[in-house]
Amino acid sequence: MIPMFLFATGVENSYPTIDQGRVRVDEMQKCGHYKYWQRDFELVQELGIHFLRYGPPIHRTWLGRGKYDWEFTDVTFHDLRTRDIIAITDLCHFGVPDWVGNFQNPEFPDLFATYAGDFARRFPWVQLYTPINEMFICAMFSAAYGWWNEQLSDDRSFVTALKHIAKANVLAMRAILEVRPDAIFIQSESSEYFHPDNPEAIQSAEVLNAKRFLSLDLNYGRRVDSLMYEYLMDNGMTRAEYHFFQEHRMKPHCIMGNDYYVTNEHLVASDGRTRPSGEIFGYDEITWQYHERYRLPVMHTETNLVQGPRGDEAAYWLWKQWANVLRVRNKGVPIVGFTWYSLTDQVDWDTALREQNNRIHPVGLYDLDRNIRPVGEAYRKLISEWREVLPTQSVCLTVPVVPPSEHDEQWARRHREQARGKRNITPTAPSNSDSGS
């Protein structure tokens, strides 16, 4: 049983398509993970990290209905299990296989649920999951900004993508729980805020600040506010589709993972256009807003900053984020983990993967030659000093996290059976405070 705070990192595995689906941007390939995966797992251990956000490359693994190539996933997940690294398994990270098409495909939710269930059956020792990464950002970049995948930019396309992505996430959680009844789902969702830059922008900012919650409202079965309900209905969501989210309540199995970067806050102009504002509220305030809405344990699931000319910019941002994590905890919010994302530098994220420049984005704990950066040294020090100070097991998680090495132990089997029994109990109706107003 793991009693410590969930310090984590991740292997960047984005794989959206651009150029009208003709080009696949595969960050695992660009960052060298297919070649250096063993070394990457060694680096995780060298940092003293036990939790890794990691997932199979969906476009190389999921080849058709019920058709898979598990070769790379088998060898990497076997190695993670041997090392006793706990994977927070990321099953869909900004893209789908070519044969699925894109997030406008109404078959995607059911297809993805089958994929998630098949993965869980193949790797029954995996307990922690992020079925679909950053659902809101995925829908925005694909179907509102026109950058990725379907490359559309209208409200109806955005709502279509969002409802398919959120439904796929819910169905995947349900499919995984059939195999692993004590599974824990850590949503990794971007935490946003929109600031009006003049009085005429107040209404536009209010709309955007309501829209930012849509993915999690649907995912957690929370009733959206009247403005967003009209927005969803006006742009193609049916009442039956909306009621689906009210009827499938996976919230008790979830940790609200929220991501925060310096780009997560925005200024809104009077015409509704937005631009980056930089850090105004910060992680502490925005996380409190999300926690007040959903009342779930929290994990800081992504942050990073470019290492600049001084060499200490990213390390300073790390300590600033950590101070915010402590502030969240001191306010009484149950926060269970922290993540610097990602393990290594990334490629072309300076243009949000919209362009193929092969330009290194120096945000990793290590560079692409696998040399540690100053932020990597700082994170290793932070983990060693704080690991035992912030235990979460008895405070937040009623279901214990089971290391791969203890999956078959008697106590772990007993907890799985208890979790399965609890799933068979008919839930009571949600209270207004639980499901929203």
Domains and CATH numbers, the chain: 6-216+251-422 (3.20.20.80)
Task: Give the model's pLDDT for residue 431.
Answer: 38
Candidates 194, 79, 218; CA nearest to 139 is: 218
User: Residues 317-359: pLDDT tens digits?
Assistant: 999 999 999 999 999 999 999 999 999 999 999 999 999 999 9
Task: Give the model's pLDDT for residue 125.
Answer: 97
Task: Give the model's pLDDT for residue 436.
Answer: 41
Task: Give the model's pLDDT for residue 437.
Answer: 33
pLDDT band at 392 (very low <50, low <70, confident <90, very high): low
pLDDT band at 131 (very low <50, low <70, confident <90, very high): very high
Task: Give the model's pLDDT for residue 391.
Answer: 58
Rounded to the nearest integer, the mean pLDDT of the chain is: 93
Task: Give the model's pLDDT for residue 389.
Answer: 72
Helix (H, G, I), strand (E, B) or coil at 158: helix
Distance CA 265, CA 276 (A): 6
User: Residues 406-435: pLDDT tens digits?
Assistant: 999 998 898 888 888 776 644 433 433 444
Q: Any idea which of 2-6, 245-249, 286-290, 292-296 has the lowest mean pLDDT?
A: 2-6
Q: What is the DSSP letter of 197?
A: S
Q: What would the mean pLDDT of 217-243 be, rounded to a whole number?
A: 98
Helix (H) or strand (E) holding 54: strand 51-54
User: Residues 273-304: pLDDT tens digits?
Assistant: 999 999 999 999 999 999 999 999 999 999 99
Distance CA 136, CA 142 (A): 10
Q: What would the mean pLDDT of 383-402 be, rounded to a whole number?
A: 72
Q: What would the mean pLDDT of 36-42 be, rounded to a whole number?
A: 98
pLDDT band at 202 (very low <50, low <70, confident <90, very high): very high
Distance CA 133, CA 136 (A): 9
Q: What would the mean pLDDT of 130-147 be, rounded to a whole number?
A: 98
- Which residue has better confidence, 4 or 170? 170
Task: Give the model's pLDDT for residue 427.
Answer: 42
- CA 373 vs CA 77, 307, 314, 385, 399: distances in Å: 26, 8, 9, 19, 35
Task: Give the model's pLDDT for residue 394.
Answer: 42
Task: Give the model's pLDDT for residue 430.
Answer: 41
Candidates 184, 301, 191, 163; CA nearest to 252 is: 184
Task: Give the model's pLDDT for residue 432.
Answer: 39
Sheet with 265-268: list strands edge to edge.
Answer: 193-196, 265-268, 274-276
Q: What would the mean pLDDT of 18-29 be, rounded to a whole number?
A: 98
